[in-house]
Amino acid sequence: MGQLMFYLAAVAACLLWSAAFVAAAARTDRTWLRRLLVAVAVVVPLLAVAPWVLLTAALAFRVGLETNWFAPTLTAFVSVLVGGLWVCRAGLTWSPAANRFVAATWPVVGLAAGFVLAKACAFGTLVFIDNAVAAEGRMLRVEAAQMMAAALPPAPAADDDAAPLYVRAIEAIKADKTVGDPKSPEGEAMGGWLTVDVGSPVVAAMLARHATTLDLVRRAADRPGCQFVRDWTRPSISMPLPEVQNLRQSARLLALAARSESAAGDAAAALADVVRIRRIGMHAASEPTLVCGLVGQAIDTSALQVLAEVLSRLGKPDLPLLDGLSLRDFVATPIVYQRHFLGEEAFGLATLADLADGRLSLDFLLEATQEVPGLLHPGPLLYRCFLLPAEEAGYRSIMHHYQNLYAYAPRGGRFPEIKKQIGAIEDGLEKRREGIFSSLMVPALRSVLARQVSGQALHGAAEVLVAATRARLQTVALPGSAADLVPERLAVLPIDPFTTDATLRSKTTDDAWAVYSIGPDGEDDGGPLPPGAEDVEGNDDVGLRMAR
């Protein structure tokens, strides 16, 4: 209703402008001046409305926003054009009875005052709408804080909180400048934690130097909870999360230690540290944002990769280690993102709230899309009044669709079916694009879903590798294929989540025994590449390799 009042006031202001100048033109005897005033009466209002017609046309036809305001803006433009021409014709009609133009009797000052009043009414309407949007933004901020509080895990007791220990370990790693320098031998070892020779003097010296740091990391990983100090009641995209990213360095240092222990024949310590790496990933993923979830899964993946190496070094006396509950729970439990999506929705709503009350500049959103020409970007006031409500509705709709998909995936949902649903969401978005903000989110959300399914495939591959290792330790040789493990050591082979109903595949090479999924492209590309190998274009197979 407020937007309708704005359009009516804007059209009225344009027509009153035209009438005032036509009245002035009717009072002059100079032909050139009369023509100039008439041109100003018609052209200036059109020039005032034309940029907004171009902007809304870009939103409608170039960006494809459903809420674009092109139709009412074009209607206003046509109304101003037709109305202005009618005012000129009616006002410049000669009246024989009065022996002058009809508009000569129109009150110029009164029409000018009416123009100012109508313009003030239009601006006042925008201010009223803007205040209503700002009030909605404050409510959104409260809702975002409540959603974030619901998504957060319970705060651990002081003695159960790993965060203080992680902070000390991170500070110790940062203090070692050689570790942070990618060109130093220590930095190269940390960067190549999965392929570096753990028997090298550089790695041995670094692990010895950071024995206290490793003790902190192990003690932190053994604690059940982790909650870094943050003000989650005010979620914001500007909220720094340095500890979460730095946990990857701690995990890499522990991975080098686990590989070193395995190479030295201490299988129990190596497997214990592998489980701890996974717990570091869970601690990183405990904070309800997608960034935290992705970092947590990256650490979880590194734990699985180290596990594959440790399994290949186990001897027959180590067989009981494979029955440990912590190892079995690790292998059977992939990271899922449903709770992170709840937190991410809260972050998005808080961002929209910041846009609503002007705390966040519109530039960050406009710079993220090149679909609207720079000269046609709407001002903050107009964006808030006309587009922001639709942005909120579109964002909520997209997030709810994806939350349902992320909830469906861990319950046995297969990627081909999920991919169809993603396609339906994206087709619907193309047909009914409700906002720029929500549209920018879709590619990232799609890729995160593929990462979650990849995690499920890797954990299934780890389950097969553990069973194959048990078979090797009991029979001296690895099975010919994964199918040979059924039903004696596996009830069934894990399903490949990137297929409809096929199982994970196995492949034997001269130096490795691999279990893998065909990946998001749905094609068998020959299995996962060896650690450290260069990427092969088109190979997106997901799996683990265990040395023979």
SS3 400: helix
Note the pLDDT tens digit of each residue in 381-398: 888 888 888 888 888 888
pLDDT at 397: 82
Q: Are 518 and 499 in contact (CB under 8 A)?
A: yes
For residue 215, give Cα distances in angstroms to 68, 196, 211, 218, 270: 58, 22, 6, 5, 14
* Listed residue (66, 45, 69, 42) closest to 55, CA to CA: 69
Q: Tell me the pLDDT tens digit for each residue of 333-392.
A: 998 888 888 888 888 888 888 888 877 777 666 655 555 544 445 577 888 888 888 888
The pLDDT of residue 161: 95
Which residues of the chain have a pLDDT value below 50? Answer: 373-376
Chain-wide mean pLDDT for the chain? 87
pLDDT value, residue 355: 83
For residue 448, report the phi and psi dihedrals to the nearest 5 degrees.
-65, -40
Q: Could you tell me which residues are beta bridge partners of residue 547? A: 512
- Residue 413 phi, psi (nearest 5): -65, 135
The backbone torsions φ and ψ at residue 92, rounded to the nearest 5 degrees and listed phi first, read -100, 20
Q: What is the pLDDT of residue 374?
A: 47
